[in-house]
Every structure is written in C-alpha cells, then in structure tokens.
C-alpha cells in the first residue's frame, strides 16, 4: 500500500485543489496522478478509534467474565502471564519497590502499553481498516490464549475472551467505517464532518464507559457474595464452645509504646504477599477439597466438614522468604482451623511420600515437606479464621494452609483447593520452578524497629526496641551492640509460644553524635543469628540488622 499524504493538512489541500495546481506526486506514482488521493481519517481520530475499540474489548471481556467466570477476564489473564513470565530480578524489584502496590502498578503499566499499541493500530489504519483490525485481533487472540493456558482453566472461561475479541474487531470496523465516511463525503463541509465524527466518538466513549461500569458492578456483586459468606463464617466461629481458644496474649508480650508492633497484627495491617491479580471469590458453601495421592484413603472435605471437626485457635507468626533484613513481611495472628496432621493421619500418608503439594483456587502451588507437616507438635493447620473472624479475602478465604516455622512460599497456600501427597520429583511448585528453595525453614532473625535508621533522638537514655523470631523453636535472647562494642542483653517480652515472634527493648546511654546500632537473636536451642549477609533468594535473607542513628547534643 502506498501512502501519498501524511497529514490532515495534505488531505485538506487535496480536497480543495484547484484544477491548475500541480498534484503532489512522486515519480513512481505517475500512472495515478489523475485520480485525487482518498482522504484518510485524521491522526487524532485514528488513534482514538484504536484506543476506543481496544478499551471496549477489554471492558466487554471484563464484564462478561464477572458474570460468567470471574477468573477469565482477558486483561487479568494477560497480567497473570506477565507476572508468571517475569524474570526474577523484575519480580524482586517490584516487590521491594512497590510492596503491595505492585499489582495496581502492573495493571496500570499494562494499560499504558496496550493503549499505545491500540493508538498505533488506529494510526496505521488511516485509510484501510486492515492493519488496525489485524492488531486488535492479535491482541484479542493473546487474551484468548492467556485465558486458555491459565493454570486453573475451565472451558467456560473462553466466553469472555471470545466476546472481547469480537467486540474489539467489531467496534474498530464500525468506528473506522463511520470516521472514513464522514471524512470522504464530498458534499459535506469540513465542520459538519467533524461534528459527526465527534458524535461517533462521544457515543463510543459512552459505550466503553457503560461497559466499564458494568464490569465494575460485576466485581462488586462477586465481592458482595464473599462478604455475605464471610459474615456467616464469622458468626459460626463465634458460637460458644465451638473453638478451643488460644490463651490470651499477656500485656507485657509487646511494647508498642516503645516502638514494637502490637503482638497480634490487626487483620488490615497483616502483611500480604501473593501473585494473585484477582482475589478468588469462592464462597465457603461452594468450597470443597480433596486430599489424595500417596494416601491409604482419599478424603473429600467440604467447609461444613471442617466446621464439624475440632477447631483450635493458635497464635502463629507468618514470615515471607522475600523479607530483607529489617523488612516488613512478618505478622502474627490467632489462626482458627483444624489440625492438618490429624487430617493426614486419617487419610493415611504412605511412608515414601515426601511432599504435600497444595494448590490454590487461582492455580498457585506450594510444596511442603511431609515430614515437617507430620511432626508431632508442629501445629500445622488448615485455617478458616484469623483474629476472631473468617479469613479476610486477601488472606485466603475460605481456607488456607499454615505451617509454623516454614516460610509462606512453601507452606501458607491461600484460597486452598487441593492437597496432593506426592514426591518432590513428581511435582514442582510455583516458586521452586523459579529458582527458590525446596525446603525453607525460617531463619532466626531480629529487627530493630525503634529508633528508625538515621533518626535523630534527644540526648540522654535512648530506648532501642524491636522484634525477633525463630519459629518453631522460639527466642531465648536478644543482644544489642553500639559501634561494634560489647553485646548487651535486651529485655524480652513475656513468652507466648514458640511459633510466634518475641519483642524486646533495651535502654542505652549514648554520647551525642552518630552511632551504629546492631542486634542479634539467639533461639532456644542456643543457636545465634548469623552475621553472614545473604539475599532472600533462594531460602531467606540473613545478617545482623544494622542502622545509624544520631543522638542530639
């Protein structure tokens, strides 16, 4: 295809060409010089048509997904693939730079890239719709494939991306045809053409808006279903005598007044780490799970089956392997649930089984060593409650796994839907495939919470406070030193259990000026936190926390 004009100005000149004016033609175009060039869609409109068509496609896909099968939104499915295919350095960068905001940032970034591609597709189609249709169709097929190859794929999931593809191509052809016709009409004055096009664009923008609202409404509906189901579960858990409650946390277990966290982390403050772009929205009454594989007797459990078993409440500190020294990915809650070891004893785990392979509703997987889960007193559980209420949606509602002493990526599967007893050779879990460790016991660590790094504190006694953890062994000692001097023992919070963190504080007399503060913890087996600094990958960061503060004179 030959393009003889490149801008709106050229089209305008051509339309108003007087007979005596020479045509603007290249030598190779000689045979066509007698035919005036067809005017194209102006640049801005062309770009807008591309963006509107793709916007309509995404909104329609999202809306249909919300109605038919929530996990099948083509936009989110493509986002899931971006996460899954992201190189290690990028995932870690996103986690450390954006924290929990990494997902909205990913989705917004995708939006920008898709909008640029869509605008380019529109611009490439200023005369013939073909290039734009091809690009919009390719985007649609990508969305289709992303859904088709999602880990938790079901055939019904194909409806949303199919609708999305058809809407994208259809809207593009429609808008393009309208825009071209209004441009081409020789009898139509230029201003009239503009108004007509404007109407077309306003109309289609409104359509995209309505579709987006519909998609949002669909999301709210699904969220409402989960809210109802959570309320029911919270009420069930509150029934007198149903749950064997955990002992109350002694008031001197934490020193929030000195700068430590509270002992139990309120649910809204509990750290969140996962790769789920969309939080699964399964209601408790729709939940069921199979325990199968290398077991004597397969078990199928519904949520009511879990409620009918003995329910226990246990204070447990969860920790993420991605936590840097001094990092925030650690929190503690009273988890309510059933004992996992007892369930597995009922199913009868074969002696040669190695791995408890757990799968989430969204297809994420974890591999937990069977010997750890089956340890007597390990307190591993299937949790359904957290701090007196049903699990919050973002922390795994309706059912998650919790194994004290193991980092979350090998044990804490949220939105649990399947448990297979198997070997390590047979199956590879999500993060194992990405270079993280197979066995990942939590490393003994401490963290200085107060003062903050580079904080200027008043002259006189300086209180240093923080946390230490070594689940499931427990902490026996925390020491602090200043400027590489002798280690001084800190005061510990009242012990709660060995599956939780321990708070500490110490008052120091410091001379005015800058000082380096370090801490190290020792567990109840007498093992002291190592000074050796390693990064989180593959099995957790280590090293002494170290920060500089200024004491005022």
Ligand X SMILES: Nc1nc2c(c(=O)[nH]1)N[C@H]1C(S)=C(S)[C@@H](COP(=O)(O)O)O[C@H]1N2
Q: Measured from the CB of residue 265, what is the shortest distance to ligand X in angstroms?
A: 9
Q: Is residue 115 a contact partner of residue 163, using CB atoms and an 8 Å limit?
A: no
Q: What's the rounded Cα separation, in Å, for the pair 502 and 246?
A: 17
Q: Is residue 504 a contact partner of residue 401, using CB atoms and an 8 Å limit?
A: no
Please report, in angstroms and rounded to a whole number, the separation of the first and last CA atoms in the chain: 78
419, 386, 364, 397: which is closest to 281 by C-alpha? 397
Q: Measured from the CB of residue 489, what is the shortest distance to Mo ion in angstroms?
A: 31
Q: Is residue 373 a contact partner of residue 367, using CB atoms and an 8 Å limit?
A: no
- Does the footprint of ligand X cover residue 335 (CB under 6 A)? no
- Does the footprint of ligand X cover residue 477 (CB under 6 A)? no
Cross-sheet strand order for the sheet of 299-302: 299-302, 288-293, 416-422, 355-360, 365-369
549, 479, 468: which is closest to 512 by C-alpha? 549
Q: Measured from the CB of residue 319, what is the shortest distance to Mo ion in angstroms?
A: 8
> Per-residue x/- mask for ligand X, residues 215 to 254, rule CB under 6 A?
----------------------------------------
Token digits for 487? 């280690």
Strands 381-386, 460-469: pairing is unpaired
- Does the footprint of Mo ion cover residue 320 (CB under 5 A)? yes
> Per-residue x/- mask for Mo ion, residues 387 to 416, rule CB under 5 A?
---------------------xx-------
- Does the footprint of ligand X cover residue 313 (CB under 6 A)? no
Stretches 199-207, 232-240, 319-327, 471-479: which one binds Mo ion (CB under 5 A)?
319-327
Nearer to ligand X, 180 or 366 (CB): 366
CA 465 to chain centre: 31
Q: Is residue 21 a contact partner of residue 124, using CB atoms and an 8 Å limit?
A: no
- Does the footprint of ligand X cover residue 264 (CB under 6 A)? no
Q: Measured from the CB of residue 401, what is the shortest distance to ligand X in angstroms?
A: 8
Nearest-10 crossing angle of helices 74-85, 102-124: 110
SS3 375: coil
- Does the footprint of ligand X cover residue 271 (CB under 6 A)? yes
Stretches 62-70, 107-115, 151-159, 265-273: which one binds ligand X (CB under 6 A)?
265-273
- Does the footprint of Mo ion cover residue 273 (CB under 5 A)? yes
Stretches 79-87, 169-177, 194-202, 405-413: which one binds ligand X (CB under 6 A)?
405-413
Stretches 44-52, 282-290, 411-419, 513-521: which one binds ligand X (CB under 6 A)?
411-419
- Does the footprint of Mo ion cover residue 218 (CB under 5 A)? no
Q: What's the rounded Cα separation, in Å, for the pair 540 and 306?
A: 33
Token digits for 268? 């809204």
- Does the footprint of ligand X cover residue 505 (CB under 6 A)? no
Q: Which of residues 11-40 bind ligand X (CB under 6 A)?
A: none
Q: Is residue 366 a contact partner of residue 275, using CB atoms and an 8 Å limit?
A: no
Q: Measured from the CB of residue 535, what is the shortest distance to ligand X in angstroms?
A: 16
Q: Is residue 380 a contact partner of residue 338, using CB atoms and an 8 Å limit?
A: no
- Does the footprint of ligand X cover residue 275 (CB under 6 A)? yes
Q: What's the rounded Cα separation, in Å, for the pair 468 and 388?
A: 25
Q: Measured from the CB of residue 190, what is the shortest distance to ligand X in angstroms?
A: 56
From 409, 469, 501, 504, residue interacting with ligand X (rule: CB under 6 A): 409
- Looking at beta carbons, which residue is closest to ligand X? 408
Summarize as ranges the residues that interact with ligand X (CB under 6 A): 270-276, 318, 320, 360, 362, 364, 395, 408-409, 412-415
- Positions that interact with Mo ion (CB under 5 A): 273, 320, 408-409
């Amino acid at each position: 295809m030959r393009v003889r004009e490149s801008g709106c100005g050229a089209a305008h000149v051509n339309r108003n060409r007087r007979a005596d004016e020479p045509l603007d033609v290249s030598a190779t175009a000689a045979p066509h010089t007698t035919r005036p060039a067809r005017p194209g869609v102006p640049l801005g409109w062309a770009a807008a048509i591309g963006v509107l068509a793709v916007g309509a496609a995404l909104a329609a896909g999202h809306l249909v997904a919300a109605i038919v099968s929530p996990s099948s939104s083509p936009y989110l499915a493509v986002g899931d693939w971006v996460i899954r295919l992201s190189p290690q350095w990028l995932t870690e960068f996103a986690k450390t730079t954006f924290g929990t905001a990494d997902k909205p940032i990913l989705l917004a970034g995708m939006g920008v890239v898709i909008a640029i591609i869509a605008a380019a597709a529109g611009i490439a189609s200023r005369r013939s719709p073909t290039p734009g249709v091809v690009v919009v169709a390719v985007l649609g097929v990508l969305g289709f494939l992303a859904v088709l190859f999602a880990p938790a794929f079901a055939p019904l999931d194909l409806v949303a991306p199919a609708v999305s593809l058809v809407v994208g191509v259809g809207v593009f052809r429609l808008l393009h045809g309208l825009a071209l016709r209004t441009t081409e009409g020789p009898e139509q004055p230029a201003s009239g053409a503009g108004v007509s096009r404007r109407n077309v664009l306003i109309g289609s923008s409104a359509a995209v808006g309505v579709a987006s609202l519909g998609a949002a409404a669909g999301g709210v509906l699904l969220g409402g279903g989960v809210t109802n189901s959570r309320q029911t579960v919270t009420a069930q858990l509150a029934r007198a005598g149903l749950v064997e409650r955990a002992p109350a946390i002694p008031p001197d277990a934490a020193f929030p007044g000195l700068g430590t966290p509270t002992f139990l982390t309120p649910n809204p403050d509990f750290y969140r780490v996962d790769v789920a772009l969309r939080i699964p929205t399964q209601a408790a009454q729709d939940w069921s799970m199979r325990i199968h594989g290398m077991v004597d007797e397969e078990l199928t459990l519904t949520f009511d089956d879990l409620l009918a078993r003995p329910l226990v409440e246990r204070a447990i500190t969860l920790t993420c392997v991605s936590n840097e020294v001094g990092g925030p990915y650690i929190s503690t809650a009273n988890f309510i649930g059933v004992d996992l070891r007892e369930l597995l004893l009922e199913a009868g785990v074969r002696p040669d089984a190695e791995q408890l392979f757990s799968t989430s509703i969204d297809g994420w997987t974890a591999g937990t060593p069977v010997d750890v889960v089956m340890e007597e007193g390990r307190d591993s559980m299937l949790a359904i409650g957290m701090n007196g209420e049903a699990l919050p949606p973002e922390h795994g509602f309706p059912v998650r796994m919790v194994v004290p002493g193991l980092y979350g990526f090998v044990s804490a599967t949220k939105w649990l839907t399947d448990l297979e007893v198997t070997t390590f050779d047979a199956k590879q879990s999500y993060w194992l495939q990405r270079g993280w460790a197979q066995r990942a016991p939590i490393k003994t660590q401490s963290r200085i919470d107060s003062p903050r790094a580079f904080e200027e504190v008043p002259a006189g006694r300086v209180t240093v406070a923080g946390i230490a953890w070594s689940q499931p062994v427990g902490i026996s000692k925390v020491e602090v030193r200043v400027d590489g001097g002798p280690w001084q023992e800190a005061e510990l919070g009242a012990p709660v259990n060995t599956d939780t963190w321990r708070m500490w504080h110490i008052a120091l007399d410091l001379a005015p000026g800058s000082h380096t503060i370090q801490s190290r913890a020792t567990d109840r087996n007498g093992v002291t936190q190592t000074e050796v600094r390693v990064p989180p990958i593959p099995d957790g960061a280590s090293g002494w926390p170290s920060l500089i503060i200024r004491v005022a004179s």
